[in-house]
């Protein structure tokens, strides 16, 4: 079973702060501090980028970026004091004045943890040439929140685990991961439920471990989850056979025909379809395209598509339209 | 709105018995009686026909004929003492030794009550030339059951009333029809629930009324039901608009994709689809083809399709297959 059927995306982010400037969480600093950080962050970018100030970006565009994990909700609330620098291909995003002066991340579809790490380290090295990064020999990188002290690094991988959810095995899995220094969240961070059978796993600790150790901890956890999910999928197919086939095709039938699709039903149906595709039940090859459909059907992305804020009812209508179009093109 | 969207089929049947022969419900008579009735029934047929003795016909074929309203369950139980004569196009069926010696009916898709009547009267006139039909000047045609005395005629029409069902108006309608000498049943006779939003209406009385009066009573009832259903459909479309469209397309999505379809879900989904077609929500023209799909997906007809008895699970599988094929060809 290819990795892409289980690993949706990989992400590595670094938290950095500038020596001598107050943390962005404090009220002091203001515009002078913002300008200095921005200057350094843009100077470090050895790639084409766009820059968006949070005071100027329309709300629906902010929401769409949040849904794609390119900025955080906290940054959106910063108004003109915050900004994001986005590489043209959107793999690198640098948040300016979020919780820390700099939150630089690299995100890629599929199993790309190490490649994300290499990309973001490259940016980080450039950054150090332009800004005086706050670093303590005992505590490592100094961060606004203590939970990020040390490496200031979070390595996370989004996993699609429908068979483990079906077999009711995710509770035990999450506990096991916790004991091994891995945190598990839903698709939209802390507290978000595991919609669409998506699980975001990342390192719990940033202090007292090296960057390589963090990558290794997360990578091993990913490996373990993949094995368990593969076994569960095989068993599911063997044991449920026709019932599973029925569910998968019904999901396809609903997604390609419904005129109204609320978020919960959409996530549940697309999960079944994706599982069916990965098990060869339904003959589509490009499962990763479904991940793009998932993102493009989140509320903010739907509003962006039509260029204005939508009511709940309108959203369900536009979501259904979007899915139909996308699936027709997929076939 | 064309009639065929509401009127599924029309049927007229006559009950006749041969003077001097014991009713088939008694044990007396036997083979000699059967032969004499059979001779007369076949001699009267001025059309191409096939003849099937109930002792020889496989059970699954019997079931399929019952589902198509061409024979009754009672006839099936008669074994070699009963038979059916079927015209090539299956519009005319003559049951021999069911409750009466002869039960001759004509059944046609759509609004064809009067044309069914003319066809079956033609056969009845021929029959009288070959058999001595039991007739009393006071009671009319003598029948095995008192409820058929007089004309021995039942005129019935199968109606599709999904909008009235949705608006919860069928209870009141049925009561009103009852008061006007009209009996309402489900798709498979007395006691059968109104599956697929199908209602069979027929004359309650056969005695003390003329054949023309019976036709007129049923025809008026049909006219009334059609008007009410048309109004309800229009209102439903206006008031539910998008919700209705969503339901109709979901039904189409499930019917064209499900791998397992039980009888209840099938009837409910096909009803939604048919309603959607009749309201122009979904662009199929031939609603009457859906009525054929309904018949071909009943249990006995499914068994006939594969040529053997099927378990419940197998039936749901073959039903789903049959529907998918039929709907693909429809599009």
Average pLDDT over residues B87-94: 97
- Does A254 sit within 8 Å of B246, measured CB to CB? no
Give the rounded percent of residues in chain A with a pLDDT score beyond 90.
Answer: 78
pLDDT bracket for residue A47 (50, 70, 90): very high
Structure tokens at A189: 């961070």
User: What is the per-residue pLDDT across A14-43, written as a single tens digit (0 to 9) for each?
Assistant: 999 999 888 888 766 678 788 999 999 999
Query: Does the distance separating the beta carbons of B242 and A249 come in below 8 Å?
Result: no
Query: Which tokens go with A188?
Result: 């939209």
Q: Which residues of chain B neighbour A320 with C-beta distances below 8 Å?
A: 246
Contact B260, B317 (CB under 8 A): yes
**Residue B5, phi then psi, degrees to nearest 5:** -70, -20
Whole-number average pLDDT of chain B: 92
Look at the block and give the residue holding tokens 């003959």. Answer: A283
Minimal CA separation from A317 to chain B, in Å: 9
What does the pLDDT read at residue B122?
A: 97
pLDDT, average across residues A259-282 = 93
Q: What is the mean pLDDT of chain A?
A: 92
DSSP summary character for residue A18: B
Per-residue pLDDT, A188 = 67
Q: Could you give the C-alpha distances from B155 to A18, B86, B116, B142, in angstroms and in order? A: 92, 19, 9, 18
Determine the pLDDT at residue A1.
Answer: 43
Residue-level pLDDT at A252: 96
Contact A258 B252 (CB under 8 A): no
B249 and A259 within 8 Å at the Cβ level: the answer is yes
Q: How far apart are alpha carbons A277 and A1 in whole angstroms?
A: 11
CB nearest to A250's CB, from B249, B254, B317? B254
**pLDDT tens digit sequence for B288-329:** 788 889 999 999 999 999 999 999 889 999 999 999 999 987
* Minimum CA–CA partner of B245 in chain A: A259
Q: Which of A243, A245, A257 sits opposite B249 (nearest CB)?
A: A257
Averaged pLDDT for residues A50-66: 95
- All residues at 6 or more sequence positions from B313 whose CB lies less than 8 Å from its CB, including other chains: B260
Mean pLDDT lowest for which of A101-115, A249-263, B136-150? B136-150
Residues 6+ apart with CB under 8 A from A54: A62, A75, A76, A77, A78, A79, A80, A81, A82, A83, A84
The residues, any chain, with a CB within 8 Å of residue A326's CB and separated by 6 or more, are: A289, A292, A293, A296
- Yes or no: say if B207 and B248 are a contact pair by the CB < 8 Å rule: no
pLDDT of residue A196: 86
Between A190-194, B23-27, B141-145, the lowest mean confidence (pLDDT) is in A190-194
Sorting pLDDT into bands at 50, 70 and 90, what band is B92? very high
Question: Is B254 within 8 Å of A253 when comparing Cβ atoms?
Answer: yes
- pLDDT digits over B133-174, tens only? 999 999 999 999 888 999 999 999 999 999 999 889 999 999
pLDDT digits (tens, 9 = 90+) for A171-190: 999 999 999 999 998 876 65
What is the structure's pLDDT at A104?
A: 97
Distance from CA of A226 to the nearest CA of B (A): 29
Flag if B249 and A258 touch (Cβ within 8 Å). Answer: yes
Distance between A38 CA and the closest CA of chain B, angstroms: 49
DSSP secondary structure letters along A65-85 = HHHTTSS-HHHHTTGGG-EEE
Q: Is the pLDDT of residue B53 over 90?
A: yes
Q: Select the residue of B246, B256, B320 nearest A258 (Cβ to Cβ).
A: B246
Distance CA B93, CA B110 (A): 18
Q: Is A249 exposed, middle or buried (0-12, 13-18, 19+ CB in 10 A)?
A: buried
Higher-pLDDT residue of B194 and A313 is A313
Mean pLDDT of B275-280: 90
> Per CB distance under 8 Å, which residues of B are interface residues toward A?
242-243, 245-246, 249-250, 252-260, 317, 320
Q: What is the pLDDT of residue A260?
A: 97
A77 pLDDT above the threshold of 50: yes
Contact at CB, B256 and A258, closer than 8 angstroms:
no
DSSP A258: -
A113: its two tokens: 């943890």
Task: Report which of A132, A111, A225 is spatially closest to residue A176, judged by C-alpha positions.
Answer: A225
What are B200-255's pLDDT values in tens digits? 999 999 999 999 999 999 999 999 999 999 999 999 999 998 999 999 999 999 99
- Predicted confidence (pLDDT) at residue B192 exceeds the cutoff of 60: no
List b or e across B199-235, with b for residues whose CB sees 16 or more CB atoms inside 10 angstroms: bbbbbbbbeebebeebbebbbebbebbbebbbebbee
- Best to test chain B binding among A246, A261, A318 (most B CBs inside 10 Å): A246
Which residues make Cβ contacts (< 8 Å) with residue B216, sequence separation at least 6? none
pLDDT at B1 over 50: no
Three-state DSSP string of chain B:
CCHHHCEEEEEEEEEECECCCCCCCCCCCHHHHHHHHHHHHHHHCCCCEEEEECCCCCHHHHHHHHHCCCCCHHHHCCHHHCEEEEECCCCEEEEECCCCCEEEEEEEECCCHHHHHHHHHHHHHHHHHHCCECEECCCEECCCCHHHCECCEEEEEEEECHHHHHCCCHHHHHHHHHHCCEEEEECCECCCCCHHHEEEEEECCCCCCCHHHHHHHHHHHHHHHHHHHHHHHHHHHHHHHHHHHHHHHHHHHHHCCCCCCCHHHHHHHHHHHHHHHHCCCCCCCCHHHHHHHHHHCCHHHHHHHHCCCCCHHHHHHHHHHHHHHHHHHHC
Contact between B260 and A246 using a beta-carbon 8 Å cutoff: yes
């Amino acid at each position: 079973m290819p990795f892409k059927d289980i690993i949706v995306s990989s992400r590595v982010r670094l938290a950095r702060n500038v020596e001598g400037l107050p943390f962005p969480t404090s009220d002091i600093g203001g515009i002078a501090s913002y300008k200095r950080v921005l200057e350094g962050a843009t100077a470090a970018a050895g790639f084409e980028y766009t820059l968006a100030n949070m005071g100027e970006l329309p709300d629906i565009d902010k929401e769409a970026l949040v849904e794609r994990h390119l900025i955080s909700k906290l940054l959106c609330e910063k108004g003109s004091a915050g900004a994001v620098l986005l590489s043209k291909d959107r793999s690198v995003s640098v948040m300016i004045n979020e919780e820390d002066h700099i939150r630089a991340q690299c995100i890629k579809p599929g199993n790309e943890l190490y490649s994300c790490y290499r990309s973001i380290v490259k940016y980080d090295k450039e950054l150090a040439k332009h800004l005086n990064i706050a670093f303590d020999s005992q505590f490592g990188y100094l961060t606004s929140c203590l939970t990020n002290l040390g490496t200031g690094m979070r390595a996370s991988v989004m996993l699609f685990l429908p068979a483990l959810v079906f077999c009711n095995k995710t509770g035990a899995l999450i506990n096991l991961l916790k004991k091994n220094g891995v945190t598990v969240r839903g698709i939209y961070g802390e507290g978000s439920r595991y919609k669409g059978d998506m699980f975001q796993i990342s390192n719990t600790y940033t202090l007292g471990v090296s960057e390589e150790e963090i990558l290794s901890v997360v990578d091993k956890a990913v490996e373990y989850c993949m094995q368990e999910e593969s076994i569960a999928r095989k068993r599911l197919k063997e044991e449920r056979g026709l019932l599973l086939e029925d569910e998968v095709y019904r999901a396809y039938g609903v997604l390609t025909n419904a005129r109204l699709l609320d978020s919960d039903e959409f996530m549940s149906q697309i999960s079944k379809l994706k599982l069916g595709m990965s098990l060869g039940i339904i003959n589509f090859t490009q499962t990763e395209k479904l991940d793009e459909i998932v993102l493009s059907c989140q509320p903010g992305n739907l509003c962006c598509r039509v260029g204005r804020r939508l009511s709940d009812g309108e959203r369900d209508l536009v979501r259904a339209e979007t899915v139909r179009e996308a699936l027709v093109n997929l076939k």
